[in-house]
């Protein structure tokens, strides 16, 4: 009976090799603490090749050049983590894996750039390629501003951040919106450090009465109905340009579907003339009727219907592992950039469209054409916004009738 109770409350500590593969072919070693079927992960800061790792023994093989030294380190870390886990479970009946992780995880202290490295590693591990590639140079800009030296969190004051703003604006000639994105990254690293207990909240330089981050509103302009008709009708003999136009139209026909969701579409997502998919940005599921125009385009891709992973479009089919989120997001980003170039430089001129044409404009175009035609509650469902305020704010860019009528009432004598 005692053994059963002990087994029930004891946490397990394991070291595993993550699936994420770096450019040199190595993968990160992480420590997993599992309690009550919930797992928390700690990055150990070491990377090895899959061929040098023994998952059963949780040890590095002799083929690794520093196998003895690294294995001794891993044994020590497992022992330390197990001791702290037992200590916590002895003193606290309902301790969670997350609490254990905070106790076991080595504190990176009040060093900003050490925390920033952890922040970037976490983004990469989560497969957030776009944020990783955007935030990495922003952290580098802050390091350059500090002349390459580290800085503690208490030293990152409002005054210092204002100096950093001036540096970005004058020396790097960065726009106000991009400057605010730099501040968002610094704020995120601060929040991470506070959550880990590395610093106290009193040093947090953001918020009411401190550094405020408020993005300026931007105008969102979509194509007109006439523009879309020209895009549908234009003959594009080049297969790349034809495919780019197809992707844009499919996005538009499905209420401005994001390119990251579009390229992941599978034939199995379509059932009885409806599309069922979960939006990647907010994980909201839903379904849409498949317009006849969309069906006609999809027919063009049915020759490859039995392709890898049931994917409709070819861009992700060549990837070896679709479960690697970082690699998938990287491929999507490269594809979106290439498609946008085709749309801007080739498709738009041939379709006689003078407006800027990119994949994201498909979403603005749906909003522009819907205008006052669709109730905001239905638009919220189509856009899959979690909050109707987001829909109202977004659609306000395209609803002009009331303002136009009011203006006419005054100036049209």
The pLDDT of residue 307 is: 58
Residue finishing a domain among 203, 235, 263: 203
Same domain, 235 and 353: yes
Q: Is the pTM higher than 0.75?
A: no
In a domain, 213, yes or no: no
Give the C-alpha separation, 279 to 285, whole Å. 6
| Higher local confidence (pLDDT), 193 or 35 | 193
Same domain, 229 and 319: yes
CATH number at residue 138: 1.10.150
Same domain, 377 and 230: yes
Residue 410 has pLDDT above 50, yes or no: no
Q: pLDDT tens, 307-328? A: 567 899 999 998 888 888 889 9
Same domain, 259 and 167: no
Q: Which of 215, 5, 214, 186 lies closest to 93, judged by CA?
A: 5
Same domain, 61 and 97: yes
* Phi, psi torsion values for 10, nearest 5 degrees: -70, 140
Give the C-alpha separation, 331 to 320, whole Å. 12
Lowest mean pLDDT among 59-63, 138-142, 179-183: 59-63
Mean pLDDT across the chain: 81
Same domain, 70 and 124: no
In a domain, 218, yes or no: no
- Residue 268 carries which DSSP code? G
Q: Which of 8, 53, 7, 11 lies closest to 30, judged by CA?
A: 53
Same domain, 238 and 381: yes
In a domain, 84, yes or no: yes
Same domain, 91 and 118: no
- Residue 238 carries which DSSP code? S
Give the C-alpha separation, 138 to 53, whole Å. 35
Same domain, 98 and 189: no
Same domain, 367 and 268: yes
CATH number at residue 244: 1.10.443.10
The pLDDT of residue 6 is: 39
| Higher local confidence (pLDDT), 237 or 363 | 237
Give the C-alpha separation, 351 to 229, whole Å. 9
In a domain, 319, yes or no: yes
Residue 180 has pLDDT above 70, yes or no: yes
Give the C-alpha separation, 24 to 392, whole Å. 47
In a domain, 214, yes or no: no
In a domain, 215, yes or no: no
Average pLDDT rounded to a whole number, residues 369-393: 63
With beta carbons less than 8 A apart as the criterion, state whether 30 and 16 touch.
yes
Per the listing, tokens 């604006």 go with 169
Residue 62 has pLDDT above 70, yes or no: yes
With beta carbons less than 8 A apart as the criterion, state whether 313 and 260 touch.
no
Residue finishing a domain among 53, 69, 104: 104
- Structural domains of the chain, count: 3
Lowest mean pLDDT among 33-42, 339-348, 356-365: 33-42
Residue finishing a domain among 104, 136, 171: 104
**DSSP-H helix ranges across 154-287:** 158-170, 176-195, 225-233, 239-253, 259-262
Residue 127 has pLDDT above 50, yes or no: yes
In a domain, 410, yes or no: no
* Phi, psi torsion values for 311, nearest 5 degrees: -70, 145
Element holding 299 (H helix, E strand): none
Give the C-alpha separation, 237 to 247, whole Å. 16
In a domain, 220, yes or no: no
Assigned token pair, 337: 């950039």
Same domain, 81 and 118: no
**How far lies 262's CA from each of 139, 198, 312, 321, in Å?**
31, 41, 9, 18
Same domain, 128 and 189: yes
Residue 270's domain comprises 225-404
């Amino acid at each position: 009976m005692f053994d059963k109770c002990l087994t029930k409350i004891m946490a397990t500590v394991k070291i595993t090799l993550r699936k994420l593969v770096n450019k040199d072919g190595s993968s990160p070693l992480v420590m997993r603490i599992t309690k009550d079927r919930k797992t928390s992960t700690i990055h150990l800061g070491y990377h090895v090749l899959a061929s040098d790792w023994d998952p059963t023994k949780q040890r590095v093989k002799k083929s690794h050049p520093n196998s003895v030294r690294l294995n001794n380190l891993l044994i020590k870390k497992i022992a330390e983590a197990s001791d702290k886990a037992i200590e916590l479970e002895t003193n606290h009946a309902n301790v969670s894996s997350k609490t254990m992780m905070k106790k076991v995880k080595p504190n990176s202290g009040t060093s900003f750039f050490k925390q920033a490295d952890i922040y970037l590693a976490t983004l990469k591990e989560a497969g957030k390629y776009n944020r990783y590639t955007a935030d990495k140079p922003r952290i580098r800009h802050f390091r350059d501003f500090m002349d390459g030296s580290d800085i503690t969190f208490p030293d990152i004051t409002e005054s210092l951040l204002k100096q950093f703003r001036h540096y970005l604006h004058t020396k790097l000639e960065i726009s106000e919106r991009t400057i605010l994105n730099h501040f968002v990254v610094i704020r995120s690293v601060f929040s991470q450090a506070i959550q880990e207990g590395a610093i106290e909240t009193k040093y947090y330089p953001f918020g009411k009465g401190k550094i405020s981050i408020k993005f300026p509103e931007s105008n969102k302009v979509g194509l007109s109905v006439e523009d879309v008709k020209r895009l549908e009708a234009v003959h594009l003999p080049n297969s790349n340009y034809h495919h780019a136009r197809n992707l844009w139209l499919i996005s538009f026909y499905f209420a401005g579907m994001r390119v990251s969701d579009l390229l992941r579409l599978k034939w199995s997502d379509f059932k009885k003339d409806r599309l069922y998919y979960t939006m990647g940005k907010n994980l909201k599921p839903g379904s849409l009727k498949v317009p006849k125009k969309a069906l006609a385009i999809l027919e063009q891709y049915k020759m490859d219907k039995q392709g890898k992973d049931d994917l409709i479009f070819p861009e992700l089919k060549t990837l070896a592992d679709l479960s690697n989120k970082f690699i998938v997001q990287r491929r999507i980003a490269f594809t979106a950039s290439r498609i946008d170039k085709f749309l801007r430089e080739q498709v738009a001129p041939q379709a006689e469209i003078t407006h800027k044409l990119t994949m994201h404009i498909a979403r603005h175009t749906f909003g522009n054409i819907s205008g006052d035609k669709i109730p905001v509650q239905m638009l919220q469902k189509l856009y899959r916004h979690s909050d109707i305020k987001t829909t109202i704010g977004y659609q306000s860019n395209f609803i002009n009738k009331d303002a136009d009528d009011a203006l006419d009432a005054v100036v049209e004598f």
